[in-house]
Amino acid sequence: MSEWTIGIIGGSGLYEMEALEDAQWIAVDTPWDAPSDELLIGRLYGHKFVFLPRHGRGHRIPPGDLNFRANIDALKRAGCTDVVAISAIGSLREELPPGRFVVVDQFIDRTVGRPSSFFGPGLVAHVSMADPTCPRLSAMLSDAAEAAGSDVTRGGTYLAMEGPQFSSRAESELYRQWGCDVIGMTAMPEAKLAREAELPYALVGMVTDYDCWRVGDKPVEVAEIIAQLMANAGRARTMVELFAKALPPTREASPIDTVLDAALITAPSARDPKMLARLDAVCRRAIG
């Protein structure tokens, strides 16, 4: 058992909480260059929380240019035990209207050109992504979102698209045929990298729009998304506070804490020292 240190990746205004104590911005250097922003570290109802504005304060970094490896590495270096992602999403289902919170449990990755692994030549690893989110975190967040007054769907498949453009109508219909429920631009490779860093990960998606599959609807525009995000923001902050209040005093171990034990395939004698040095935070536990 150990203490919780919760990493929160989300919008720039998510961390504006009166209850956050001893808050300070800290710059973290990583071997993967700079993360999106400094980390805001403080205590929320007795637990350590680390906030990272995913797109940087002021939303200055587009999805395809996010340094996902640096973001996850920075949270690992800050001592995070678990990671919660809070994201705007589009809905691919009539029953998931704008304003609804969806705690997703599956992903289809359609991103391209984004570095998706910490590992590579010199140290090879293959983590399982069969169940890409943490059920414990997801359940606690679902409870907190409901207590905050949100309509919540527990479970759903998230289609991760490259962007920054929105979908064509043909793409939106195709993703619906695939069984996807929601769509966004930031969950991948974020979730994959969290798993490689042995960080349990959960994602709460806040529905802002119906994408463009509904016949007769106008295509989604940024102004519509921003308006719905503002409407969701208060409930998202309340959700985080109620989640913090409900955390047990101590953290029981998760199977995700040790996934690299069954993932590293390169023999110790063949591992590249430079690669090992770069992975000093991500897999310190597994490589000793």
pLDDT tens for residues 66-125?
999 999 999 999 999 999 999 999 999 999 999 999 999 999 999 999 999 999 999 999
Residue ranges of the alpha helices (H) in the chain?
A: 68-77, 135-147, 169-177, 190-196, 222-246, 273-278, 284-287
Alpha-carbon gap, residue 121 to 104, rounded angstroms? 32
Catalytic residues: 209, 211
**CA dihedral sign, ordered 131, 132, 135, 139:** negative
Number of domains in the chain: 1
More confident residue, 47 or 216: 47
Dihedral-angle region of residue 237 (phi above 0 means left; psi in -120 to 50 means alpha; beta otherwise) = alpha
Q: Which domain holds residue 115?
A: 5-287
Task: Compute φ and ψ for 3, nearest 5 degrees.
Answer: -85, 155
The chain-wide mean pLDDT, for the chain, equals 95
Confidence of residue 14 (pLDDT cuts 50, 70, 90): confident
User: What's 193's domain CATH number?
Assistant: 3.40.50.1580
Share of the chain above pLDDT 90, in %: 88
pLDDT band at residue 1 using 50, 70 and 90 as cut-offs = low
> What is the rounded CA–CA span in Å between residue 236 and residue 188?
21
Please tell me the pTM assigned to this model: 0.96
Residue 164: C-alpha distances to residues 13, 86, 103, 160, 232 (Å):
21, 18, 23, 12, 22
Task: Give SS3 for 176.
Answer: helix
17-21: average pLDDT = 91
- For residue 231, give the DSSP letter: H
Q: What is the pLDDT of residue 142?
A: 98
**In 3D, which of 164, 138, 140, 201 has the Cα closest to residue 8?**
201
- Residue of 232, 210, 206, 205 whose CA lies nearest to 221: 210
| Segment 237-269, tens digit of pLDDT | 999 999 999 999 999 999 999 999 999 999 999
| Pairing outcome for strands 106-109 and 21-26 | unpaired
